[in-house]
Amino acid sequence: MFRYLKALGLAFVLVLASCTQVPKNVHDLNVELNKAEKTLNVAIKTNRELYLSGVITIAIRRKVATVVDVANDKLLGVVAIAKNLTDANFASSKGQINIALQAAAAALRAGTTGNATIDALLLSAATALDLAVGLTASIRANDILPTLKGELASYFDMATLFETRSLVKGEV
């Protein structure tokens, strides 16, 4: 009976650890960055369609393409930084992320054209970037850091872990 309880405990901790490898606020940041990128992607495609249909001028098409390119570059930079966040680079990376997100949002807001469709898309992307700034602020180093080993070591000593693992293997 005790064996089963230990195995159950290990399974619970392993499931818990795998679920918390990417904390919710970090995942939410990924989701928000993805929404901003999706919106930029639709904005650049719509910009082209509107120009080809004669709704906007070449000057507007270029203006929109320029601000989307600026925001897109910054956003891709943010995704790359977020992907490589570690304990050592956490503080400086978080600062870089915030600066880049705010610059991207500002570029999009400065790029409005008077065309309702384009402006709505640019402002929607800017809003998603604002939300991402808020989420970034809520992320603490501890959200990035928890290593599986550290988590497990706080619940079980390693000898018990190995024993339990072999017991689990014997049962399946």
List residues near other proteins by CB under 8 A.
22, 26-27, 30-31, 33-35, 37-42, 44-53, 55, 61-62, 64-66, 68-69, 72-73, 75-76, 79-80, 82-83, 115-117, 119-121, 123
39-45 long-range contacts, Cβ below 8 Å, gap at least 24?
Answer: 39/121, 39/124, 39/125, 39/128, 40/68, 40/71, 40/72, 40/75, 40/125, 42/121, 43/68, 43/118, 43/121, 43/122, 43/125, 44/68, 44/72
- Quick one: 62 or 149, whose CB is closer to other proteins? 62
Nearer to other proteins, 5 or 16 (CB): 16
Give the shortest CB-39-to-other proteins separation in angstroms: 6
51 vs 156 by CB, closer to other proteins: 51
Q: Specify the residue, 7 or 60, whose C-beta has the smaller distance to other proteins.
A: 60
- Least Cβ distance, residue 50 to other proteins (angstroms): 6
Residue 62 C-beta: closest distance to other proteins, Å:
6
Q: Are 86 and 1 in contact (CB under 8 A)?
A: no
Burial status of residue 172 (CB atoms within 10 A of its CB: 0-12, 13-18, 19 or more) = exposed
Least distance to other proteins from the beta carbon of 105, Å?
14
**Alpha carbon 97 to chain centroid distance?**
11
